[in-house]
Amino acid sequence: MEKLVITAAICGAEVTKEQNPSVPYTVEEIVREAKSAYHAGASIIHLHVREDDGTPTQDKERFEVCIKAIKEACPDVIIQPSTGGAVGMSNEERLQPTLLKPEMASLDCGTCNFGGDDIFVNTENTIIEFANTMNKMGIKPELEVFDKGMVDMALRLHKKGYIKVPLHFNFVLGVNGGIAATPRDLVFLAGSIPTDATYTVTGIGRHQISMATLSMVMGGHVRVGFEDNLYLKKGVLAKSNGELVEKIVRIAEALGREIATPEEARCILGLS
């Protein structure tokens, strides 16, 4: 079985310090959390950025400052900016980080209810626009899917030439409005993609560790971090993203999955 690629989603756009005081807002805090995850074994940092007061932003300059600072602290880490941003942002806002030409970026493959009145909108034309932009900039998309129909959309757009091989998916399970975080559903998603594609699994909240463990057993890869889950275990807040990565590394070692370095992750995902 190939080595395990660990992604750390260190802050997201929605979680707050009121929920967990360790959620990073400032550049210094974001670097602190990236370092903690990297040194624990993460080879990819999935990056949202915030203003100092915690307001989510897709501002190119803010991303540039954060990416430069992370690279100074973790020179070989893969930085994967989000183009999802926050609910309600325009396509133009969301695409700003692609102007920095990162190695990877997230590409959301469909529209999803996010609870209450929140709808995360990604029309077919939006997905094509984002894919075309990433192709132009030489950016590898991580295909974010919250339900089976989004896998189908990604594969249709691949057949039309908008999304290039090798394909890499991120299955997000347990979002209110998306596919459930169950073994049945993860097996279903993994069986719905080409055999030469790779995938990462993101379990939301209390499902983070169980879905990550199942992914490791199935040969997939793993995403953890504050964006998706703030707790180390029931009732115990994680003190850092590094703590969450360390927990995954311990489980991986027990299962016999070696941890990929950033350079090994680049080879596995077709970045090099």
Is the distance from CB of 88 to CB of 74 less than 8 angstroms?
no
- 38-to-35, 87, 235, 270 alpha-carbon distances in Å: 5, 28, 25, 20
Give the per-residue pLDDT at 28. 98
In the chain, the amino acid numbered 188 is F
Give the per-residue pLDDT at 51. 98
Give the per-residue pLDDT at 272. 78
Q: What is the mean pLDDT of each run of 10 residues along the chain (272 residues)?
A: 97 97 98 98 98 98 98 98 94 98 98 91 98 98 98 98 98 96 98 98 97 98 98 97 98 97 98 86
Residue spans of alpha helices (H) in the chain: 27-40, 60-73, 91-94, 124-137, 148-159, 183-190, 208-218, 241-255, 262-269
CA nearest 64: which of 102, 95, 34? Answer: 102
**Bond preceding residue 166 cis, omega within 30 of 0:** yes
Phi, psi (rounded to 5 degrees) for 123: -70, 170
197: domain CATH number? 3.20.20.70
Is the distance from CB of 52 to CB of 18 less than 8 angstroms?
no
In a domain, 1, yes or no: no
**DSSP assignment, residue 19?**
T
In a domain, 141, yes or no: yes
| Residue 166: partners with Cβ closer than 8 Å, 6 or more residues away | 196, 197, 198, 269, 270
In a domain, 211, yes or no: yes
The whole-model pTM stands at: 0.97
Domain that holds residue 188: 6-269
Phi, psi (rounded to 5 degrees) for 47: -115, 120
In a domain, 148, yes or no: yes
Please tell me the distance from the alpha carbon of residue 218 to that of residue 179, in angstroms, as a whole number.
18
Give the per-residue pLDDT at 128. 98
Into how many domains does the chain fold?
A: 1
